Structure 1
């Protein structure tokens, strides 16, 4: 074997080794990023589960208005676990959300004239009377079973 062939073989080996080390470095970054994303997702789910527990407990203890609690629970459930959100035992939250979707919020609520506000409040009271038991049952189920499911 000639010197040139040996030098080319050595250069090729060094190049392949350098590329392999660089590929390993890049894969380590990918693995670390995946691990960080999984950890962030786990923390997000834990935070949402905790928020859902607080809301469900507050709804059951009447510390939170039923309509407001149902809306907040529905939105958090959608972000926490769509399968759990679509569970038939949680449908009351969707129903109340949809029944109040057209109601203005925040500054728009304050801008309503008192008559319009009273009409909405009357509708809230009707909805609460009609769905209070189902919402409380759903909140209790979330606390006792829904949020404790192994997939959640």
Structure 2
């Protein structure tokens, strides 16, 4: 064999090795995308279940309306799956926005009593004002998103 034949064979071997490596890399990309899609689907199923659970708790009176609205809004913001076409979540957004400034957890406990009472009064007004719309939304969510 001539030296040029060896160079051509070496070049072809290198091309085949690089093509195989490229194919392997594309397979890895495809597999990662599949895993991400499965993970997203599992996440959405978990969120949909949590949304149904919270909706039931809200409708059964086990969850305060404002807290339920806030939690549902946050879960729906993170949910990327299908939704009913007639699902109206505007009330959740209104209640979330109207209460976003209110401290939570330890900051709530640290508030002076008078300030806590003001916030509680405002939350009671919001609950009364938006009760029907919130219950309608919770009823729709209770039956699932899919």
After TM superposition, the score normalised by the length of structure 1 is: 0.88
Shift of 1:53: 0.7
Matches within 5 A, 1:29-108: 29-81=28-80, 89-108=88-107
Q: Which moved more, 1:2-11 or 1:134-143?
A: 2-11
What's the CA shift for 1:72? 0.5
Task: Give the Å deviation of 1:89.
Answer: 1.4
SS at match of 2:103: coil
Structure 2: any 5+ residue segments left out of the alignment?
A: none
When residues 81 and 28 of structure 1 are mapped into structure 2, their CA distance, relative to the original with a 3 A threshold, is closer
Q: 1:79 to 1:112 in 2, by over 3 A?
A: same
Ranges in structure 1 where 5+ consecutive residues have no aligned partner: none
Greater relative CO, 1 or 2 (CA 8 Å, sep 6+): 2
Structure 1 stretches of at least 4 aligned residues deviating more than 4 Å after TM superposition: none
1:5 aligns with 2:17: no
Q: Which residue of 2 aligns with 1:23?
A: 22
Deviations 1:14-33 (A, max 9, x none): 10111011111111111111
1:137 alignment partner in structure 2: 136
**How far apart in 2 are the matches of 1:144 and 1:53?**
7
